Amino acid sequence: MATYEQVAIGVHGVLTENPCSEPSQALAKARKRLQETPELLNKAIQFLRERGTHPDPEVIGALSQMRLAEWVHLKDLKSGAILLDIEGHEAYCVAGLTQSPGEIIGSRGWIVETALCPFAGVILCGGIFLARCQLGPDLRRRFNERYLSLKAAGRLHRRPDTAPLWESTRSWR
């Protein structure tokens, strides 16, 4: 079964014949193109099948619901990383694919571009982060205050079934 990374590489393969020397760049480009052109997912599935790889249906389902955006990475907790949408309207507790976002980014308080998707009842973070800028102490404090108010208001989402990002897809599941 094909993993998230293999499907993203399949998207890259559909888009170009040129192999990318840096795998993380290929993955970042692939997810951006997939967000812009969702039909590429079907082409990537076909691309992989022609090469003898069969994508996992759960991975395909997660990728079809992927949301690539800029997020504020506030901190990592034992239960997951805390990300806020850039407008500060919603907060998400997300799991990393293989490690926490803080282990990848190196510290907290960054605005990053990354992808979130629902998978196996959790909100999963794709593991590729494009750092935009690090927040200064005042902005980090303000976003933390916003996080605490969102949490108190019940808008810290730990599961996809409570998250507004995937409201439009709940009806068909």
Q: Is the pLDDT of residue 16 over 70?
A: no
Average pLDDT rounded to a whole number, residues 136-146: 94
Q: Is the pLDDT of residue 11 over 80?
A: no
Domain positions in the chain: 4-64, 67-162
By mean pLDDT, which of 23-27, 58-62, 86-90, 107-111 is the weakest? 23-27
Q: Is the pLDDT of residue 154 over 70?
A: yes
Q: What is the pLDDT of residues 120-132, one digit of tens each?
A: 899 998 778 877 8
Between 17 and 149, whose confidence is greater?
149
pLDDT of residue 14: 67
pLDDT of residue 53: 85
pLDDT of residue 9: 65
**Is the CB of residue 74 less than 8 Å from the CB of residue 83?**
yes
Average pLDDT rounded to a whole number, residues 75-99: 89
Class of domain 67-162: mainly beta
pLDDT band at 149 (very low <50, low <70, confident <90, very high): very high
Residue 131 neighbours by CB under 8 Å, 6+ apart: 105, 110, 111, 112
User: Whole-angstrom Cα distance, residue 2 to residue 121?
Assistant: 20
